[in-house]
Structure 1
Amino acid sequence: MPTKRPKLALAAAGVAIVAALAILFWPEAGRGAAASSGAAPVRTAAAVQSSGAPVGLPGLPAGAGQEERARLLAEQYRNADQAYCSYHASTKYPVSSRPIAEHPDQVYPNQPVVEIQPMRGEGGRGADPNVLVQTSQSRVFMVAGEAVAFSLRAVNAQGGALPLVVTRAVAGGMTFGASRPAAQVSLPFADDGAGADPVGGDSHFAALLAPAQTSLAQFNGTIRTEVRYTVNGRAGVALFDVNYSPEVPATWAGQAREVIEDGSLSYVLKADVRQAGRYIVTGRVDDAKGKPFALATFNDVLRAGPNDIRLTVFGKLLHDKAPAMPLTLRDVDGYLLKENVDPDRALMPRLAGRVVAGKPHPLRSFSDTEYAGEERTRHLAEFANDASRAKDALAAFDPARPLPASQCDASAVK
């Protein structure tokens, strides 16, 4: 029963998706920005009728009647307008500072992973819906010096505990192809109230894996723990996966602090970088009531030596959501990104729990201006041009027909 690995990939602005939708529903959307200023003007319906020539508007069937062509032009405008409005709304904050509601899997990264599934035999065969096996593990990603706790128990459909006996439990590094097989480590699962098991005799069997203290200390990658057990004489198997990083590319150094700069709230963390490269660092921000509010991300190249890492809560995000102040930064994790290798990252030690308790800053301390990066500005201009051309084409085809209203909210002004 492999565990689910949390997503660490960053939130994208959605440019490609929105553009693809625009092109899909309105064929001219992808060519709007490239159209030259000397393009032939769209002719009105009256001019076309007087000339006797076919309308020939882009993307419209040549044999369509006037009503059908007007409907298609209106649909093209609505799709182009929607593309603009959707992109405008989704990019008013930078990707480095987003509402945490957009990333529900990132809210509490250090909570145990708990699953309950029907008992399964070797290779997932022989599922028994009358025997449910509950498993948990304290973490999925590990750095050198950390340990992970595993547990499992068996219950019936009503939740009553069933007698479970662990017959064998081993942990080993997963290798592929011509890679040399990694060593295996035996894990003692017990229900004695000691070690990883908090309560003895409650039918929860638990074990602790600390790779740095075993022959897996230098293994880099996925470590799989295979637990074989029996319930009422029937054999079953459970699997636990962790991603282990024995190298530490950077460590945290010094006290983190909160500052207001460029109209936003930033948390400045100090790091001692041993390996230069691109680092991805993520922190969670809660409001004064403990409600998760924002996900702040750092994504940049760091040189070797002392560095400042800034996790920023964008000013407009603060204005729009108006969280209860003061804010708290918690649960910071980071890694050195490696390209074209597996594993693709070397983990930094995590900062679990509260990292910075902020001050109750008034909202007037922050800017209410939308994000205005070069890429966003360029794409907004392209989408606005596409919508404008579609609107002009509809108006020229039938000046008497009312134009569809824009789907943008009042703040999205072309």
Structure 2
Amino acid sequence: MHTFLWGTATASYQIEGAAHEDGRVPSIWDTFSHEPGRTRDGHTGDVACDHYHRWPEDVALMKELGVNAYRFSIAWPRVMGGPAGLDFYERLVDALLDAGITPTPTLFHWDLPQELQDRGGWLNRDTAHRFAGYAAQVAARLADRVSTWITLNEPFAHTIEGHALGVHAPGQALMLDSLPVAHHQLLAHGLAVPALRAAGAEQVWITQNCSPAWAATPADQAAADAYATLHNWLFNDPVLLGRYPDLSAFGVEPDFVRDGDLEIISAPIDGLGINYYNPTLLGSPTGDGLPFDLLEITGYPTTAFGWPVVPDGLRELLISFKDRYGTALPPVYITENGCSSDEPLDDQERVTFLEGHLAALDQARAEGVDVRGYFAWSLLDNFEWAEGYHQRFGLVHVDFETQRRTPKASYHWFRKYLEDRR
């Protein structure tokens, strides 16, 4: 009988700060956020939540919350910078274990070392091999205490936002020419799986952000199918089925795939992390070169980010994965789910959001989806990428001038929810 994982999630560049300490080398987000006009109000992650220095307080907040797992990410630039980086994560892991919290690290959450970007980044196939070496290095230090590892976070988002549209680091606007970035990230995952197992990892997952694709009308179904192919199946079919989906709707062939790549990418995994925020509404194309148009979803409440709040979309998404992959679908973990809110402390809309999505999760489990964990995004208000410090997702409020942490209403609600579940 497995223990259900109830946790919160964060990412290194979004919370750690200490951008220039203990040998840490620059990342693509250091470069990007310091370029004028790239982030809202020119915000950077130089300090963020100062978690690098304040992690004992943050672990205590999690212990008080009552979670039994914590999904965080390890900063490749911090590890590349010398032994102090791994010393930091070792202290964090030991403190989590002492608090009864299962450490669940992600090895890549978008902060690629700038040095590797200068050599081509994810457009360069060699980066996949460099990632496998980095994974082996980290696991050699920590796998005696860390049993579960996540290779990548949201390769779809990193490909599209960072390399197709250019609104995230490294700021490349390549559109469909960014597809090799997708493949090389998946190859990195596949190469890392045996490296992690060789170092003693018991479980290896990958985390994908996924979205139900809704057709605006029956006539738009082909557009919705094309979007689902790009957002969901392009990144999951190679991992779970060992093949790419049909990309003919995009007029491209995956000619960057070499013999043996798909066998590497489809190495068996022990869990699939799914990040869910909202569905996507699609209409037929109007001429920008893509086989769909993105439309606004109306008739639902929205978050401070303007995202529609559709709890049943989580159930719908999970059922679609069960139907598509069948026995090839490993146990599923919701590795991110949450909402931004403008309410500093009495964030009742976040409470409503969590209530609805957790009920949808229970319904999906009742319908036969093997879900074994839920991680709320996020523990702390943090640096929200191109939005800087303007979108607050935390269960805990952070005053970015004083770094004071204050639990919100949603923190107290989630703590009681976990007590009642137990």
Same fold (TM over 0.5): no
More helix by share: 2
Q: What is the TM-score when the length of structure 1 is the normalising length?
A: 0.23
Higher Cα radius of gyration: 1
Greater strand content = 1
TM-score, normalisation: structure 2: 0.23
